[in-house]
A and B are shown apart, each in its own frame.
Chain A
Amino acid sequence: MENRNILDTVDSDLAERLLSRRAALGSTLTATFALASVPLGLAALARRAFAQGPLPAQIINVLNFALTLEYLESEFYETGVATSGLIPVGEADVFDQIRKHESAHVAFLLSVLGASAVSKPTFDFTAGNGSGTGPYADVFSNYETFKAVSQAFEDTGVRAYKGQAANLMSNDAILRAALQIHSVEARHASEVRRLRGLDGWITQAFNNIPGADAVYADEDAVRQFGISVPGITPVPRDEITEAFDEPLSMGKVLAIVAPFIVGSNP
């Protein structure tokens, strides 16, 4: 497959490749998989995802979107953890645990997508779109910058998965797995925020990361599904905004990460 990324539209030959993938899986598609709360192996998860037949284009598109974000996070933490002197010893375990999860998410999504998976883009973690001299130029030499970018990635990831959940409702196994990743990203976000001296939760649309306002846009909502929440609870407004995390559309997420992806056209 040629090098392409999620910012391209879904290929016209996607359906064809999906059909051939289904043929390759053969008789395993006829197996039924009982719902279970125990962790499944990668192969079993992938098989269960396909148990309802070939994945529709909408799900492929969402999973490739997720894969792109996980590629981004995974390479970010692999680089950060491997950079000597960047992460203080006392906080190294935190970032190694996050690195481990993001790497596992990439592997999981690759196993589900198979031949339909997009390739890993080339990243510029300075947000310089390939120049290497973006606003976060010292991301791997200044721990404060590294943590700030980490927080932005994690809080964006939470919003990205949340925004796509409804598009996965046709496949229970994939929806469940996406939700299981979503809450892991939220745990990461909480921990990194706390490392930076913030609360684990988002107050209003506040952030202290230069250039990251889009990551927190609309997090100050107090009207939920037609209900004005301050009118139905004595809890103060700040805590109301903390109590609900807001979704982001695929387009807004891609615009946020575009400066980190070399060759992208937001």
Chain B
Amino acid sequence: MTTPLQTHTDSGGNEGSRDRRDFLRMAGLGGLALVLPAALANCADSTSPMPPSTRLSRTIGPNDAVTLDFSSDIGVANYAYALEQLEARFYNIVTDNPASDLLAGELAILNDIRAHESVHRDFLRVYLGAAAIPKLTFDFSSVDFTSRASVLATSRVFEDLGVAAYNGAGELLTDPQNLLLAGKIVSVEARHAAAIRDLIDPRSRFFAGDDVIDANGLDRAFDPLTVLAAADPYIVNPINVVGLP
């Protein structure tokens, strides 16, 4: 099966032009451009689904900005890719030098989660192909990786945030296939969130606690600005957000 985002393996222009059509259609719905933080340099790129500055360069410095253009599925998928990069890097550090006070069995769980996030990251990079944003630089200096409590608390934040991010991003997608992909990933993030929460407060209501599930039994759904603001302390590269409805 070919995919709209698989431009790396797709030499034919058919899928690409479909992307472009979707993008142009979406762009016509509203041109509101939101920029986080104050970097305006790439705003001119908002008329292009793939900013040239990120299209050709796969490696950037920690201070180089990355633009996420939510007016196309490519931008939404890159948003997911950024979050999966964050999670994968975090669990890499967690499991490379595990906290000495982890309880029996907990490292195996964290190793599994590391593997899943690595798969998500690697898959999205290939799925996006030439449209993928570069590898980001992260700052986990606020995390005490020698402490089980710090590691699990940060894991919980990232997993819950990932769930809320995917839940809020579904409606931004136009291609049903991309929605299915998001669905295949988000439930795994929710499984992680529940497992981490069960490690923090075993066999309690916390795995799906009232702090994240509302009175209607609904999990959280965050818009990208809320998610990126929460992730901002951990992402060194400035992230420009454009194309939100």
| A interface residues, Cβ below 8 angstroms from B | 35, 37, 39-40, 42, 45, 90-91, 93-94, 96-98, 100-105, 107-108, 158, 161-162, 165-166, 169, 172, 175-177, 179-191, 194-195, 199-201, 224-227, 229, 232-236, 239-240, 242-247
- Checking A96, A100, A240 against B217 with a beta-carbon cut-off of 8 angstroms, the contacting residue is A100
Using CB atoms, name the residue of chain B closest to A98. Answer: B208
Contacts of B2 in A (CB 8 A): 226
Q: A226-B1, A243-B116 are in contact. Are A188 and B218 (CB under 8 A)?
A: no
Contacts of B232 in A (CB 8 A): none
Closest Cβ–Cβ distance, residue A182 to chain B (whole Å): 6
**Do residues B118 and A225 form an inter-chain contact, with CB atoms below 8 A?**
no
**Do residues B203 and A166 form an inter-chain contact, with CB atoms below 8 A?**
no
Contacts of A227 in B (CB 8 A): 3, 6, 123, 126-127
Q: A224-B181, A226-B2 are in contact. Are A158 and B187 (CB under 8 A)?
A: yes
Q: A162-B180, A232-B126, A239-B112 are in contact. Are A108 and B171 (CB under 8 A)?
A: no
Q: Within 8 Å of chain A (Cβ to Cβ): is B133?
A: no
**Do residues A225 and B187 form an inter-chain contact, with CB atoms below 8 A?**
no
Closest Cβ–Cβ distance, residue A81 to chain B (whole Å): 13
Q: Within 8 Å of chain A (Cβ to Cβ): is B104?
A: no
Chain B 171-215 interface 0/1 with A at a Cβ cutoff of 8 Å (1 = within): 101001101110111111111111100100001110111000111
Closest Cβ–Cβ distance, residue A47 to chain B (whole Å): 14
State the CA gap A14–B2 with chains docked (Å): 38
Contacts of A98 in B (CB 8 A): 208
Q: Within 8 Å of chain A (Cβ to Cβ): is B144?
A: no
Contacts of A96 in B (CB 8 A): 205
Q: Within 8 Å of chain A (Cβ to Cβ): is B166?
A: yes
State the CA gap A239–B214 with chains docked (Å): 31
Contacts of B119 in A (CB 8 A): 229, 233, 235, 239-240, 243-244
26 contacts between A and B (CB under 8 A): A37-B168, A37-B222, A39-B218, A94-B205, A100-B217, A101-B208, A158-B187, A165-B179, A166-B176, A169-B171, A169-B173, A175-B170, A179-B183, A179-B221, A182-B190, A184-B213, A187-B194, A189-B191, A191-B194, A200-B192, A200-B195, A224-B184, A225-B6, A226-B6, A243-B115, A243-B185
Q: A39-B218, A166-B179, A191-B198 are in contact. Are A94 and B207 (CB under 8 A)?
A: yes
Most buried by B among A103, A182, A246: A182
State the CA gap A91–B209 with chains docked (Å): 15
- Checking B177, B189, B220 against A180 with a beta-carbon cut-off of 8 angstroms, the contacting residue is B220
**Do residues B219 and A190 form an inter-chain contact, with CB atoms below 8 A?**
no
| B interface residues, Cβ below 8 angstroms from A | 1-3, 6, 109, 112, 115-116, 118-120, 122-123, 126-127, 163-164, 166-168, 170-171, 173, 176-177, 179-181, 183-195, 198, 203-205, 207-209, 213-223, 226, 245
**Do residues A225 and B116 form an inter-chain contact, with CB atoms below 8 A?**
no
**Do residues B127 and A94 form an inter-chain contact, with CB atoms below 8 A?**
no
Using CB atoms, name the residue of chain A closest to B225. Answer: A37
**Do residues B205 and A108 form an inter-chain contact, with CB atoms below 8 A?**
no
Contacts of A185 in B (CB 8 A): 187
A/B pair count, beta carbons within 8 Å: 216
Q: Which 8 A-B pairs have the closest CB atoms?
A: A104-B217, A186-B190, A39-B214, A166-B176, A239-B115, A180-B218, A186-B187, A190-B194
Contacts of A246 in B (CB 8 A): 184
State the CA gap A188–B112 with chains docked (Å): 19
State the CA gap A83–B168 with chains docked (Å): 38
**Do residues B204 and A37 form an inter-chain contact, with CB atoms below 8 A?**
no
Q: A39-B218, A42-B216, A201-B188 are in contact. Are A97 and B208 (CB under 8 A)?
A: yes
Contacts of B214 in A (CB 8 A): 39
**Do residues B171 and A165 form an inter-chain contact, with CB atoms below 8 A?**
no
Contacts of A100 in B (CB 8 A): 217
State the CA gap A201–B191 with chains docked (Å): 6
Q: A187-B190, A191-B208, A243-B116 are in contact. Are A172 and B184 (CB under 8 A)?
A: no
State the CA gap A98–B204 with chains docked (Å): 11
- Checking A42, A97, A161, A224 against B205 with a beta-carbon cut-off of 8 angstroms, the contacting residue is A97
Contacts of A93 in B (CB 8 A): 203-205
Closest Cβ–Cβ distance, residue B26 to chain A (whole Å): 14
**Do residues B167 and A179 form an inter-chain contact, with CB atoms below 8 A?**
yes
Closest Cβ–Cβ distance, residue A229 to chain B (whole Å): 6
- Checking A90, A226, A247 against B3 with a beta-carbon cut-off of 8 angstroms, the contacting residue is A226
**Do residues A180 and B167 form an inter-chain contact, with CB atoms below 8 A?**
yes
**Do residues B112 and A201 form an inter-chain contact, with CB atoms below 8 A?**
yes
